[in-house]
Structures are given as C-alpha cells and as structure tokens.
C-alpha cells in the first residue's frame, strides 16, 4: 500500500513538472490524491488498530490457555501420584490375599490330617472292641 501512495505522489510530481497547462487539472488531482491518501492512511490506521487489538486478544487467549495447560499438568501429576499409591496398595492387598490363601490351604491340610488321625483312631478303637476269632 505504501508503494502505491509513493507511486501516485511521484506520478503527480512528475506530471506537474512537465507541463504548466496541467496546473488546472493538477489541483483537482492533488485534492483527489490527498483525499485518497487520507482515506488510505485512515484505513491502514484502523486495520492496524484492529490488528493490534487482535494481537492483544490472542495474547490473552494464549495466556489463558497456558494457565489451563499448567492446571491440567498439575492434575495429571496428581493423578499419576494417586495411581502410584493405588498400585502400592494393590500390591499390599494382593500380598495379604496370598497370605490368607496360604493360611486357608494350611488350615485345610491340617483339617485333612486331623480327619485322617480321627479315622485312624476310630479304626484302632474298632479293632480293639471287636472280638478276636
């Protein structure tokens, strides 16, 4: 855009330097050029303001998203810590279950042993009480 403005100004300056008969039309052209330049500068200024405002809004959005990312990272770290704690508790719980299972098996074996001993005692007793033939 600046190139266009510079080109127009250079063109008008060159045209006014070549011919004095153009001085009548050059005043009108200067007025139109000035009006055009003013409009162009105003438009550029407004678009610059819009761009500045958009950049500020983008910066705010980026800061907000950075804050959200930090919060999410903290939550992830907390969840990882909780997961590790749960894994440790699960290992402890599984060890207790295995220990309890071992106790149940041990008690079952002892009951079987006692049942066998009671059966042996009953056999011995029944052999004593039977008359010998």
Tokens encoding 58: 């983008």
Using CA atoms, how far residue 56 sits from 52, 61, 63, 65, in Å, is 6, 9, 11, 14
* pLDDT band of 69, cuts 50, 70, 90: very high
pLDDT of residue 85: 96
This prediction has a pTM of 0.45
pLDDT of residue 126: 85
Rounded Cα gap, residues 46 and 56, in angstroms = 15
Q: At which residue do the structure tokens 């008008």 appear?
A: 12
44-48, 89-93, 95-99: lowest mean pLDDT where? 44-48
pLDDT of residue 129: 65
What would the mean pLDDT of 28-53 be, rounded to a whole number? 77
Tokens encoding 44: 């550029």
Rounded Cα gap, residues 119 and 121, in angstroms = 5
Domain-by-domain residue ranges, the chain? 2-129
């Amino acid at each position: 855009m600046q190139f266009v403005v510079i080109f127009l100004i250079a063109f008008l300056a060159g045209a006014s330097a070549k011919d004095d008969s153009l001085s009548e039309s050059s005043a009108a052209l200067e007025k139109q050029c000035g009006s055009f330049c003013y409009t162009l500068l105003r438009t550029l200024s407004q678009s610059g303001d819009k761009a500045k405002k958009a950049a500020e809004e983008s910066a705010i959005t980026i800061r907000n998203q950075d804050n959200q990312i930090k919060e999410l990272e903290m939550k992830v770290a907390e969840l990882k810590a909780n997961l590790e704690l749960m894994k440790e508790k699960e290992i402890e719980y599984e060890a207790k279950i295995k220990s309890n299972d071992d106790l149940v098996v041990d008690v079952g074996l002892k009951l079987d042993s006692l049942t066998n001993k009671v059966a042996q005692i009953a056999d011995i007793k029944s052999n004593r009480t039977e008359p010998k033939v």
